[in-house]
Structure 1
Amino acid sequence: NGADIMAPGVVDADSSVKKNDLVWVRDEKYKKALAVGIALMDAEEMINAKKGKAVLSIHYIGDKIWRM
């Protein structure tokens, strides 16, 4: 639904991800892309954080761009 990605939901992140990087979010089981966003923290922090937003969602499946 376009919600931002919360850190407690992040189970893995590429170790090269840095704050403000453009990142993609994928489904854990099927590995399908679900969203594109801006990293709000580095990869290690995303994986270890117990609270807070990890990724600001800017494009997701079903949004206006997807439906074009």
Structure 2
Amino acid sequence: MPTPENPDLERDPAKDRAAGSTPKEAVRERSAEERSITSPTPADVRAKAEEHGAPEPPAADSQAP
């Protein structure tokens, strides 16, 4: 639905949360994925991954079935 501020804007009421009774107070909530936002991996998580290295492959069975 176009708004007075932006007549070309299409709004999805399912994703809007009304903060009040007037359209000017409506707040649009979108997920980080919808906004194309990615969060960097924290340094401590990267360091821990580097400490462990690549995981060991599973050991092969010593006897065939």
TM range (shorter): under 0.3
Larger Rg: 2
Q: Give TM-score, length-normalised by structure 2.
A: 0.22
Q: Give TM-score, length-normalised by structure 1.
A: 0.21
Give the number of the structure whose residues are more often strand, by fraction: 1
Give the number of the structure whose residues are more often helix, by fraction: 2
